[in-house]
Every structure is written in C-alpha cells, then in structure tokens.
Structure 1
C-alpha cells in the first residue's frame, strides 16, 4: 500500500510522534517570527503547522500526493516533490524528519538541502535512533519472520554528525530525544504497528502484537518510549 493511501491513518496514529524533536530543532535553530522554514518529506504537515505557530513562513515538499493533500489542510505552501525538486529558497532552516534515509544517495540529498539554505542558515536531520532505544522494537520483533536488518549508520551515535561533517556543515547541536508513542486502545496499537497490512494480516498478527505490548499497557491504552536522533549543522559562509 502506498504512502498516499496510508496518509490519513498515518497522520492519525503517527503524525504527532515527533513533537519533542520538533521542539529541539526549533530551539536550536531559533525558529521564530520571520524565519523561513522548508521541511522536506513533510508528510501530513504537522511540523510545518508547528513552525508556523512560532511565526515562521513555511514551505514543504513530499513525494506522496496523499500526504501533500493532508499537509495543505494545515498550511498552504506544500508541493509534490523530493530531494531532487526543492523550491529555490533561500531558507533559514531546512529540515528532514525521518526522510533523508530514504534518499537514493544521502550525501547527494544533503547537498540538495544545503543548496537551498541561506548563508549561516541551518540544516536539521532527524531520524529514528538505534533499535535498543525504542520500545517499538519489542513489538516489531514479535511479528518479524527473521532477524531485523542491522541499524543503519544514521541511526547510530555519531552517524548524523559524520554525515553533516562530510557535507561541509559545522555542527551546532545533536543528540537523542525521547518521543513517547501513546495509543488509546488495542485497535490503535495494532493498526499503528501493522500500518499498511490488510485486515486479514492485522487479525492474524494482532494478538501477537498485543501480547508483546503487555509491559507497555497503561489503563486501556499503551505508552511506548522511543527515541529520535538529530543533528543540526550550519552553512559556513
């Protein structure tokens, strides 16, 4: 199932997960009234709406038409596109939340972000931390048919920092930030973990997911503690 088809359900179950990371990026880059912000791989537009609430002028691009349609219900300046088709800018802050790792070439994708960033502006990259820092991994392992693939370099400590250094950026901030995932019901949890699977698969694997999630149950719902890693670099004049 495509990201366009999943857009509404993804936004419902996952769209607000990154809020603590948004705050870390906004604080480190000084997003405020008058800031020009571009979010690449903007999904359903939650971070764009957050940045706009701080007074920023925002723009976004995403390769999934369904995501673009949803994002436009939050902010107006969102276009269909990817790392190879960015608006000219310049932007004071350019962000990519859980997006850069999907590029065919991460170095080329980073160079594209830098190219539309103003002198002395900021590029912020955010993605999932290594699996051992994520309660979600317990649930994913419960339904994996085999061993999960090793964590990619960008998920490991120092990976994002090295990427920015290789791209000629001066590191200004980096770290790991807790991003709790809170679900209101069994149904929400199963749909979130098995997002994109058809109803028959969700019925088959749902009990396995719920059994694995038992340690994270709170009342009628669940709270899983996960982490994102982030690194922010500035464009050297």
Structure 2
C-alpha cells in the first residue's frame, strides 16, 4: 500500500520543500558544514537540505521512510546518497561515520525519541535537532485550531528546553540552541488550500480560508510567520 507521504510528495515538495530553508541555513552555519564535512539528514524529505549541503561542498547523505520522498530527494540532490529507511530501526551506517547528523521535524515521530537520539550520537560528532516551536509562536496555529477535533497541547520538543533535555539525556553537551523564523507564503487562495489540505477533506476549505483571513496580503496572497526551535549537541 502506498504510504501517505508518497501520495502527496510532489505537492508537498512544491509548496513546503523550501519552507525550512532559514532553519537549514542556520544549522549549516552553526555546525560548520562546508568542504569535506559529511552530513546525515534523518527524514530528508524531498532533499532540499541535501542539495544545500552539496552547494556548501559537503558530503550529503539522507534517509527517509517514504519511497515517494526518497525518489524526489534523489532527483533534487543527485550527488547525495539517499536511502529508504525507518527512524525506529537501526541506521544502515557504522558509528562515527558522520561529522553532523541532522533531524528536521522528525523527533516527534519517533517511537522512542531518546533511543533515536542516542543512535544519532553514535553516528556523528554533532547532532542537530530542529522542529516547530510552541504553537503560540506560529501563525499556523490559527488554522490548526479550527481543523482539530480538540485543542492540541504543545509536545515536549516544541517547548523551550525540550531538545536540550534529550541531548543531555544521551550525554551530549548542548553547544548552542535558538529560534529561527520560518515564513510560509503563497500567492492565492487556491494555493493556500492545496498546501494546507494536500488534496484531502475539501469540505474544510471554507474553514481554512476564514482562519487564514488575518494573514491575507494586499496582493491576494497569504503570509504566515512561524518559528522553529533547534539545539545542537556535541560529544563531551
């Protein structure tokens, strides 16, 4: 059976692929990604960060659980090694094989986040964890709230100190952490609905449009300002 991410991979890549760009650039800078640096991106999606690592003359390697995303990543980053794999299974590389291991919006999907980060720590000298900040810092929350059956609480990794805590739990030293602004912009209502609904639940379209009204721009597009948190762990 086709996995859900494969079914929406092309639309997601078109409308969301570049969304995390500011956070990816921040992580590349603070971890020193450049010539000769070997990087493993866990949950690489459609490969935007892999392509960026290659631009910086690093060696990019990625893994994702969605065949559709892996196919797109191989197209977007043809110089990268990209494999199909599950976050909750052992990674198919030896320990100490990487200088930097990154995980963008991944840890919340792990069955055992501490176990996953512990494995990351054996794989690379630096581990970068990145994900959505608390809902109050994200314009998307206005849309999430009207679509949810009940209000959602912030998970531990959205809150300040969440990433730092799991890094310390696996005996990594937190070298730096911070917030990055990430903005999602679309030119019109049709694109807004394509990006939010990803082809599902068309009956929710009026609800989405109403919730997004405060973020409508003068030219008819939409601009939603959000934030990602990140923390970098290094071996003591």
Of 206-215 and 65-74, more deviation after overlay is shown by: 206-215
**2:159 corresponds to 1:152:** no
**TM-score, normalization: structure 2?**
0.93
Structure 1 Cα separation of the partners of residues 229 and 165 of structure 2: 13
Match of 1:142 in 2: 146
Give the aligned length: 228
What is the rounded CA distance, in whole Å, between the counterparts of 1:230 and 1:22 in structure 2?
10
TM-score normalised by structure 1 residue count: 0.93
1:205 aligns with 204
Q: Tell me, what secondary structure is at the counterpart of 1:155?
A: coil
What's the counterpart of residue 92 of structure 1?
99
Does the 8 Å CA contact 1:180/1:223 hold for their aligned counterparts? yes
Aligned partner of 2:214 in structure 1 is 215
Q: Which has the higher contact order (CA 8 A, sep 6+)?
A: 1
What's the C-alpha RMSD, in Å, of the aligned pairs? Answer: 1.2
CA contact (8 A) 1:140 1:193 kept: no
Aligned to 1:50: 52
1:41 aligns with 2:43: yes
**CA-CA distance at 1:214 after TM superposition:** 1.1
- Structure 2: tracts of 5 or more residues without a match: none
Distance in 1 of aligned mates of 2:171 and 2:198: 37
Which residue is 1:230 aligned to?
A: 230
Provide the C-alpha distance between the structure 2 equivalents of 1:185 and 1:59, rounded to a whole number of angstroms: 35
1:164 is matched with: 167
CA drift at 1:215: 1.1
Hey, what's the Cα distance between the residues in 2 that align with 1:226 and 1:19?
Answer: 13
Does 2:105 correspond to 1:78?
no
Cα distance in structure 1, aligned partners of 2:199 and 2:119: 30
Which residue is equivalent to 2:25? 23
1:145 is displaced (CA, Å) by 2.6
Q: 1:187 Cα deviation (Å)?
A: 1.2
